[in-house]
Chains A and B, each alone.
Chain A
Amino acid sequence: MSVLDPPYEEDVWGPRRVRMVAAVLALVFVVIVGRSAWVVFNGPDRSADDAAPVEQVRRADIVDRDGQLLVTTLQGWSLAADPSAIWEVDEVVGALKSVFPNLNTTQMTQALSDKKRRFVWVRRGITERERRAVKELGMEALRFVEEPQRVYPNGALAGHLLGYTGVDGDGLEGIEKVYDERLKAGGDPLRLTIDASVQFVLEQELQAAQEQFTMIGAAGIVMDANTGAVRAIASWPTSDPRKRGDEPAEAKTNRAINVRPELGSIYKPLTVAAALEAGKLSVTDRFDVSAPVKIGAVTVRDPHPLPNARSVTASDIIVYSSNLGSSLIAQRIGPEALKAFLGDLGLLGGVQINGPQTASPLPPAEWNQTSMATVAYGHGIGVSPLAFAMTYTPFATGGDLVTPTFIESSDPAGVKRKRVMSRETAATVLAMLRRTVTDGSGKLAEAVGYEVAGKTGTAEKPTPDGYDPNRNITSFAAVFPASRPQFVVLVVLDEAEPRTGATRTASVTAAMIAGKVIARAAPLLDVQPVLGAPAVQTVSLQGTDGQGSEGVAQ
């Protein structure tokens, strides 16, 4: 070894290698310890969970005001097929036809013949019985797919209002459509104002009406006059949401919301209220309705003579339903004032209902003497029954128009109210309505203990050739109980003719049905019957005999 040689050559690299290995090991140690500490203090890495599929939100239930379930979502089954696994398409289609008789075999054969496809829907939303029947077929190419299904435990009850969803869960009609986004978001049930028991009573009475009268349709509404809460709304023929619109057209039509009939004389109290409010009418004023009068281009006459027709009061005009008297009253205020008043009542549109919207009204094309004379007794103007029912709320609330709502709310501030007439006017007209039931055309509407106050309406149906005297819309609009009004009821019957051959006026058709509805619905609505003489203010109404009569008012 030379002195020039580096000393301990092999020892120079030895410590360096050791240090390097130690450094690497130390680094690994630090990484492992660091990672362990991270896991200990921060938990496992959940980034994988973020990529997990989000569970489908369950569509919210719909319940009535008491929480009774009206619509819910349950897991159901749909049937699909794998065309690539089918050898004999005709055999499969034939077997499916035995389970689903209305299966479109041509379409299904075509779909299942496409061997490139691995998935074809056969039927969405099958019943348990159908599922069992398909299982018994024992075909491997058929498979069941679990899907949420809307279920209606009450069957067709409130079917028109509730509406239905499509196979993909989208709301297509009624509440299901109007509140589709809210229901899709899931969460708490959507609580309606509907009372299932009252709804049942209303639907049952409309059905029973069909047994007493031949008729092509009917509608009914029960509404809380003070809150606007619609407790029942029905259209006959009924619609079954479970059929998802696969029904005849007459059953699909919601006659309470989507039709705009001319409703006839139930407009007369509105005409009287308009004139009273304008200061152009007094309860003691008298009119001669004994002979026809030409107003504008129309000659107005009463189809039936009134008692003491040469001298009748506004009350008599309501009680005995005088077309001529109503037109004469309207003449005092003129077409523009009548239009403005009816507009205030929402009969010309612009009312935003918390729920399904009503069909747009059909007002007269021009407001002149002629249209004014006919609108005064409910001809020449068409609105939905729901829109009209609202116009009787001022008679119950002392002058406030209350907008209908279908969503239950405990917040009194949510009630939409608008002052449309004075308390005196409301009380006066209410007294006339009560007298109509006790003494006039609405006697059959009386429900013992519930002081029905209302008005009949019989309107000939318009045709391209004029009005048809053989086809009527009969209606009855009511407020009860008259001494402390709480509810508005409206019944509308389309072409109702008593099977007994009796006259087809509202006094024997719609009035009777309204009375039956009130008698059964009032206890369910916690309306206390009037026991003995009501302690209420009375309004003096001058009658045809000149002696005056008294009507119950607020």
Chain B
Amino acid sequence: MNRIVMVGGLVVVAGLAVAVYRAKLGAEETQGRIDGLKAEVTKVEKEIAVLKAEEAYLTRPERIGPIARERLGLEQATPGQYVAPEALKQRLGEERLTLPPTPEAAPVAPATDGPAEQ
């Protein structure tokens, strides 16, 4: 009986030793993966910081102003380009008048709130 207990105990101890060893190996592997991910996060964070700095460099007012002016024909808004809200309806109506009629729109009656009706 004692012998059986002894042998059984030794087998359990051996099994546990193997289990602990494997657990340790697994923990080291996991730690390695965590370290790798941390390094990757740090690397990506650095890349993001570089990209943000590049974006700020490329969108700095000193550079964007001339590009907007020369390539897009954009100029700073002048007071004459602002419209009071009450004048907006009339302005929208005028612009609607200038739109070329589409084939589908041609047979349709003009909008009731547009100047075309007046």
Contacts and interface: CB of A to CB of B under 8 A. Distances in A.
A450 B79 contact: yes
Interface in B1-34: 2, 6, 9-10, 12-13, 16-17, 19-20, 23-24, 27
A72 B77 contact: no
A369 interface: no
Contacts of A44: 24, 27
Give the contact-size bracket for chain A: 35 or more
Nearest to A75: B46
Interface residues of B, number: 36
Interface in A496-534: 520, 523, 528-532
A337 interface: no
B56 A69 contact: yes
Interface in B53-100: 53-57, 59-62, 65, 76-80, 82-84
A531 B87 CA distance: 11
A73 interface: yes
B62 A74 contact: no
Nearest to A63: B56
A272 B23 CA distance: 85
Contact of B76 (A22, A35, A520): A520
Given A32-B13, A32-B17, A36-B16, A155 B79 contact: no
Contacts of B56: 68-70, 72, 153-154
A45 B72 CA distance: 63
A25 B27 CA distance: 28
B16 A155 contact: no
Contacts of A28: 13
A121 interface: no
B37 interface: no
B12 to A, nearest CB: 7
B9 A25 contact: yes
A33 interface: yes
B49 interface: yes
A41 to B, nearest CB: 12
A309 B77 CA distance: 43
Nearest to A200: B61
A69 B53 contact: yes
Nearest to A35: B20
A29 B55 contact: no
B116 interface: no
A39 interface: yes
A21 B78 CA distance: 100
A225 interface: no
B50 interface: yes
A523 B76 contact: yes
A151 interface: yes
A196 interface: yes
Contacts of B24: 44
Contact of B49 (A32, A73, A450): A73
B56 to A, nearest CB: 4
A196 B61 contact: yes
Contacts of B82: 449, 528-529, 531
Contacts of A26: 9
Contact of A154 (B12, B52, B60, B83): B60
A151 B57 CA distance: 10
Interface in A1-59: 18, 22, 25-26, 28-29, 32-33, 35-36, 39-40, 44, 55
A199 B62 CA distance: 11
Interface in A182-213: 196-197, 199-201
Most buried by A among B55, B62, B65, B79: B79
B16 A448 contact: no
B49 A39 contact: no
A32 B16 contact: yes
Contacts of B77: 523
Most buried by B among A35, A74, A199, A450: A74
Interface in A49-91: 55, 68-70, 72-75
Nearest to A70: B56
Interface string A250-294: 000000000000000000000000000000000000000000000
A473 interface: no
30 contacts: A22-B2, A25-B9, A32-B16, A32-B17, A32-B20, A44-B24, A55-B42, A69-B52, A70-B56, A72-B52, A72-B53, A72-B56, A73-B49, A74-B50, A153-B54, A153-B56, A153-B60, A154-B56, A154-B57, A154-B61, A154-B62, A196-B60, A199-B61, A200-B61, A200-B65, A449-B78, A449-B79, A449-B80, A449-B82, A529-B82
Given A29-B12, A153-B56, 14 more contacts: A32-B13, A36-B19, A72-B49, A73-B49, A74-B46, A153-B54, A153-B57, A155-B60, A200-B60, A200-B61, A529-B79, A529-B82, A531-B82, A532-B84
